[in-house]
Amino acid sequence: MNKKKNLVKIFGFLCGLAMILTAASVIVRPKDNDVYNLPSYVRTLENLNGEKENTVDVLFAGDSEASDGFSPLQFWSEQGISSFNIANPAQILPDTYALTAQAVKNQDVKLLVLEASCLYLDSDIYSKDPYLRAAEKLFPIVHYHQAYRLLKPRSVSFGKVRKTDALKGFWLKTNVREWVGDPDYMGDPAEPAQPFGYMAGDMMEKLYALCQENGIELLIVSVPAPAYWEYSKHNAVNAWAEEHGVTYIDMNQMNEELGMDWTQDSADGGNHLSFSGTVKVNAWLGQYIKDTYAPADHRGDAQYDSWKDALEETGLYGVNS
């Protein structure tokens, strides 16, 4: 009798626990798309949602190469392009997809610029450990428990907040570390293509389809990264781009044209651009976007004051908006 009662107690406790975990899962799980890194997804979305509706024409996406590389304020300052950078360090394609899918709900995005290095990250949002993976799928709170990192005293909101990031998603780096190496760092152009990261190919198809559905042009770019980028990757990205009729620009092949000086233009010995490196890269890319896709110059339009104000607030690139 006692044994039966104890078994009922254990079973009851476990059922109660399952109910609590299910309820918590419902609270933290994003509504539309599952993501890998919930805190950076939520913060980026909050910042993006802080922009007025239909004011963002261009989105920049990718991993740290993109978050450290593309500065929307420079594009505003030089070409009057209203853009936002939704990239984050180590951001994988499912998170980029989810952010883009959210962005198109409020914004009339015309161009998505994807930095290619994220294609070499595994695009699986769940853990590799099969047991943990099963637990994450059964109780999404296990997958999204990083939500606690959003519990800062200043903000607990998951929703749409009128608040934006002064740098529009750009991660400005002040450090400089020289890169020394072979100027032909990409190796042999005949290198066989290196396959994308796990599931990255599938996610690219999904992202491409999303762009097509929403009339967004997709532009794939590789920012100069002498310690990281090579022809095996270039060839794989190029093949994908050609197959899908998408433009791919590898700026690693344009070091001279861009005037890259690797004593100053790398933040960390060739992996990421320093601020001076981003200035050179963005100057060229902004002009290219302007010439090729002809986005409107919104400087002087009060609807777009968010960019003007941010530029004044940060004091970057001279205040010539």
Phi, psi of 51 (to 5 degrees): -80, 150
Q: 183-212: which residues touch other proteins (CB under 8 A)?
A: none
| Site for other proteins contains 160 (CB under 8 A) | no
Stretch that binds other proteins, among 3-11, 112-120, 220-228, 263-271 (CB under 8 A): 3-11
For residues 247 and 217, give the distance between their C-alpha atoms in angstroms, rounded to a whole number: 9
Type of residue found at 235: N
Among 103, 118, 125, 285, binds other proteins (CB under 8 A): 125
Interface of this chain with other proteins, residues 22 to 61, rule: CB under 8 A:
24, 36-39
Residue type, position 6, single letter: N
Give the strand order in the sheet containing 111-115.
Answer: 83-85, 58-61, 111-115, 217-222, 247-250
Verify binding: residue 136, other proteins, rule CB under 8 A.
yes
245: Cβ–Cβ under 8 A, 6 or more apart, which residues?
Answer: none
Counting residues that bind other proteins (by CB under 8 A) gives 35
Binding test (CB under 8 A) with other proteins, winner from 48, 142, 267, 289: 142
Compare residues 19 and 296 and give the one whose CB is closer to other proteins.
Answer: 19
Rg, C-alpha atoms of the chain:
22
The stretch among 130-138, 186-194, 233-241, 294-302 that binds other proteins (CB under 8 A) is 130-138
Q: How far is CA 123 from the centre of its chain?
A: 13
C-alpha–C-alpha distance, residues 106 and 55, integer Å: 9
Give the three-class secondary structure for 105: helix
129 binds other proteins, rule: CB under 8 A: yes
Q: Which positions touch other proteins (CB under 8 A)?
A: 2-3, 6, 9-10, 13, 16-17, 20-21, 24, 36-39, 125-127, 129-132, 134-136, 141-143, 145-149, 151-152
